[in-house]
Amino acid sequence: MIKHPRRSDISATVKNSAIDPRGKGFCHARQLAGVLTWLILLAIVGCDSSATSKTTGPLRESRPLVAQKPVVLSNIFDLRQPLEIENKPVSVESPVFDDVAQSEGLYHTYLTGDKKLLLMVQPTGGGCGWIDYDRDGNWDLYLNQGGDPSLPPSAMQPSDQLFRNLNDGRFHLVTELAGIDERDYSQGVAVSDFDNDGFSDILVTNIGICTLYQNQGDGTFRDVSTALPQSPGWHSSAAWGDVDRDGDLDLYVCRYVNFDTFHPHVCLTASGERRMCQPNEIDPRPDELYLNEGDDTFRAVARERGVFGSSNKALGVSIADFDNDEWPDIYVANDATPNFLFINQKDGQFLDKASELGCAVASDGRAQASMGIAVGDYDHNGFLDLYLTHFEGEWNTLYRNLGPAGFTDVTAAAAGVSTTLSMVAFGTVMEDFNCDGNEDLVIANGHLDDPGHLGTQLAMPPQLFSIGDSQITDNSVRGGDYFSQRFIGRGMATADYDGDGDLDLAIVHQNAPVSLLRNQSSRGHWLQLQFIGRRSNRQGVGVRVTLRSGSYYFIREIAGGTSYCASHQPVMVFGLGNRDQPCELAIVWPSGIRQSIRVAELDRIIVLSEPADDDI
């Protein structure tokens, strides 16, 4: 395994090189592999049926798996068809994390307020967002704060916090210095450079009015919330993305339900005692899509652009290109109602195609209580898959994206159902933390209400899964001490805060200190990409990269939103396992500009600038 380097900032070596289709040698190897697979499957199925069958009626027969005919890749930029799947795990080692929050000076606890209030907003909050607000190359952390939800924001309420990363193993509290004074009952964060000035801005989702902080470029922020035409209410997750591809970032805000904390809807038990309300007892509050007008103002357009649906109770959102047409789509995680997938019609309009494409409800036809979203191409077929976190009694759902055929819930086939049924899950990310070529999943769990009467606990252990060979493996016991503890986990966001090339994690817990999980994994070869947009938005949100290393393909996209109430560093880390040969990158910028790069040297950070024109 490779020794971890510290911070590096290496410019890419750019060569105009076409990327060849596969040669004959590969085909022969594949045929041989196919025969072997067939023989193994015959053996497995033979064992199953001979061991257990009683009779030979039509229900009892058992046949080997039918191999799918792969689609041959002719061009790395041809994104419309699924890529041929060749990958096998090169390592089954688990990622390993150390919680270093305290040793690095990151002291913060999200406070939910008096539990006796039993207000519905109390169990949901607690987000975080990574931001390099001072552009020193070190990723700083913005953390939400709750307080007393029954009182309006005032100096008596605790403020959100901004911690500056000093790059010497310490974080330093700079909230006041940076001009942050955010005392609403906060839920989440969405960071991005909406004005394309090179300095990241912050949107804070609140119970009330969302706060938009514009980075002044001098280490301070200015409250420009009036730029958003908004009304007070419940705001959960939010996502930035250039949905109209005009070069600046637009904003999608989830607004969950109509619940007024100052005049709360009262819900009672059968015996007349007050209890926390359930989402099905409260009216939905439709989400909003704000188009960036390019002059530091936004226009609310959800209705006119078709970005709406019935029973919209959204807690999570992701903006990414799910159908590979190079236009960003919007996936919305609704609580106990069908999820939305707003497909971009490329004319400013969107159509919800979640039910048609098979990602609205789980395989049992039931609308799940969706909270967090992770996005990644776990099966390496060139299309972004989805992982949704859910309430207790519902499994977290892995939707495999089949490309033109839509999505299919493969959780059962991937052995991922039983491990999550007992959890109430929120924040989640899908990344290759140990760079072995397989995606990992980290999940923040924790109940909403005190479930003592059910024999379960409010605090729940976080989970760490690895997806290899289309199977989900629970690596929680191997992931470090953090995963053996119990928390009420909520927001979770990734960044390479220590600059060593791999991704670390910030995880917010309710009424317990935030965790900073430093990635200590033994890892395979890797490549980290950072982006500077020119015609595209400055941070490259929406950039899609296809990496080829020999016969190995992987795609990544800087997706907007994802996780829950959280915001990641806009960076890509490709895990290459033991593949040490030079690789080729095909980059599609949100502007449509294409770029092709050959990378001879691995295990480094590359900063990519958008070229003025196609560069392939």
Partner 1 sequence: MTLQRRKLEQQIRFAIDCQREPPRAYVYLFLIDTMRIAGASESNSRWLEQDPESELFDVARVLHMPEPENGVRASSADDKYSLADGLFNRFPDNLELLAYKIDVRLRSGDVQGVLQLLSALPPEADDDNRFWRAKGWLHLNRNELPKANEALNEAIRLFPMDWYARNLLADLLRKKSSLVEAEKLHELVQAARQLRIQTNAIALDAEIPNDILTELARLAEQCGDVQVASALNRRLEILNMSGPYRNQRR
Contact residues toward partner 1 (CB under 8 A) are 48-49, 51-55, 57-60, 62-63, 65-66, 68, 338, 355-358, 360-361, 363-366, 391-395, 402, 404-413, 415-418, 421-422, 454-456
Closest CB to partner 1 among 117 and 336? 336
In terms of DSSP H, where are the helices of 66-168? Answer: none
Closest CB to partner 1 among 19 and 351? 351
Closest CB to partner 1 among 417 and 566? 417
Closest CB to partner 1 among 20 and 61? 61
CA dihedral 19, 403, 606, 162 (to 10 degrees): 170
Cα–Cα distance for residue pair 285/142, rounded to 1 Å: 27
Residue with tokens 């691995």: 602
Cα–Cα distance for residue pair 335/258, rounded to 1 Å: 13
Report the DSSP beta bridge partners of residue 344.
350
Q: Cβ of residue 361: shortest distance to partner 1, in angstroms?
A: 8
Closest CB to partner 1 among 49 and 231? 49
In terms of DSSP H, where are the helices of 345-440? Answer: 354-357
Closest CB to partner 1 among 208 and 309? 309
Q: Cβ of residue 266: shortest distance to partner 1, in angstroms?
A: 23
Closest CB to partner 1 among 41 and 512? 41
Closest CB to partner 1 among 23 and 455? 455
Looking at beta carbons, which pairs linking 166-174 to residues 24 or more positions away fall under 8 Å?
Answer: 166/138, 167/7, 167/136, 167/137, 167/138, 167/499, 169/103, 169/104, 170/104, 170/105, 171/104, 171/105, 171/106, 171/140, 171/141, 172/105, 173/107, 174/140, 174/219
* 565 within 8 A of 371, measured Cβ to Cβ: no
Cα–Cα distance for residue pair 282/261, rounded to 1 Å: 13
Q: Cβ of residue 330: shortest distance to partner 1, in angstroms?
A: 19
Q: Cβ of residue 463: shortest distance to partner 1, in angstroms?
A: 16
Cα–Cα distance for residue pair 420/393, rounded to 1 Å: 8
Residue (of 531, 527, 528) closest to 542 by Cα position: 531
Residue (of 480, 565, 540) closest to 128 by Cα position: 565
Q: Cβ of residue 90: shortest distance to partner 1, in angstroms?
A: 24
Residue burial 295-313, b: 16+ Cβ < 10 Å; e: rest: eeebebbbeebbbbbeebb
Q: Cβ of residue 167: shortest distance to partner 1, in angstroms?
A: 44
Residue (of 142, 127, 5) closest to 499 by Cα position: 5
**HSE toward the beta carbon, residue 564, CA cutoff 13 A:** 32
Residue (of 555, 510, 534) closest to 147 by Cα position: 510
Q: Cβ of residue 351: shortest distance to partner 1, in angstroms?
A: 12
* 427 within 8 A of 407, measured Cβ to Cβ: no
* 416 within 8 A of 463, measured Cβ to Cβ: no
Closest CB to partner 1 among 45 and 173? 45
Closest CB to partner 1 among 319 and 357? 357
Q: Cβ of residue 202: shortest distance to partner 1, in angstroms?
A: 37
CB atoms within 10 A of CB 353: 18
Closest CB to partner 1 among 129 and 446? 446
- Residues ≥6 apart with Cβ < 8 Å to 450: 115, 458
Q: Cβ of residue 487: shortest distance to partner 1, in angstroms?
A: 19
Q: Cβ of residue 402: shortest distance to partner 1, in angstroms?
A: 6
Chain centroid to Cα 288, Å, comes to 20
Q: Cβ of residue 52: shortest distance to partner 1, in angstroms?
A: 4
Query: 70 in helix, strand or coil?
Result: coil
Residue with tokens 């207790």: 392
Closest CB to partner 1 among 459 and 512? 459
- Residues ≥6 apart with Cβ < 8 Å to 427: 372, 389, 443, 444, 489, 490, 491, 492, 493, 507, 508, 563, 564, 565, 566
Cα–Cα distance for residue pair 146/130, rounded to 1 Å: 19
Q: Cβ of residue 69: shortest distance to partner 1, in angstroms?
A: 12
Q: Cβ of residue 280: shortest distance to partner 1, in angstroms?
A: 11
Closest CB to partner 1 among 280 and 485? 280
Closest CB to partner 1 among 193 and 329? 329
Residue (of 149, 130, 150) closest to 139 by Cα position: 130
Q: Cβ of residue 277: shortest distance to partner 1, in angstroms?
A: 18
